[in-house]
Amino acid sequence: MSFAASLPWWAALPAATFLVLGGLITLIGAIGLLRLKDFYQRIHGPAITITLGAGCILIASMIYFTTQQSRPVIHELLISAFVLMSAPVVAMLIMRSAVYRDLRAGRASAITGGSNSQVPGNDKQP
């Protein structure tokens, strides 16, 4: 029998709550990827997943394994630290390459949404 069934209720309750919450938030992030229209909106979807979604699941993992092994298990903190340090860099790189691609293709209206005269990166163009 797995240990999960014999987990005391005071640990099972918060662990389950955080797991469900994290799963829901990750699902919302995925729905965002599906529903949002253009690339610049879609890039905001995964941001919820990596911060709150991953955070809730890692907290649940800390609660579960701390209770299971009867000693503090907190090395999940490292995962959140590395995710929070690396994910923003990836988002920035993807964003910049998208802007660069649109400017190269002469699709400035795709960037501004066709309503605003401010073209980003205008002073960078040759």
Partner 1 sequence: MKRWLPSLPLSFALLATWLLLNQSIAPAHLLLGSVLAVAAPLLARPLQPHGHARIRRPLALFRLLWMSAIEIVRSCVNVSSIILFRKAEGVNSQFIRVPLDLRSPHGLALLSCLINSTPGTVWVELLSDGKELLLHVFDLHDEQWWIDTIKTRYEQPIREVFEPDTLQGENP
Looking at the Cβ atoms of 15 and 29, the one nearer to partner 1 is 29
Query: Would you count residue 109 as binding partner 1 (CB under 8 A)?
Result: no
Query: Would you count residue 52 as binding partner 1 (CB under 8 A)?
Result: yes
Query: Would you count residue 84 as binding partner 1 (CB under 8 A)?
Result: yes
Query: Would you count residue 13 as binding partner 1 (CB under 8 A)?
Result: no
Looking at the Cβ atoms of 7 and 110, the one nearer to partner 1 is 110
Among 12, 23, 40, 110, binds partner 1 (CB under 8 A): 40
Q: How far apart are CA 119 and CA 117, in angstroms?
A: 6
Judged by CB under 8 A, which stretch of 3-11, 12-20, 83-91 contacts partner 1? Answer: 83-91
Judged by CB under 8 A, which stretch of 3-11, 12-20, 31-39 contacts partner 1? Answer: 31-39
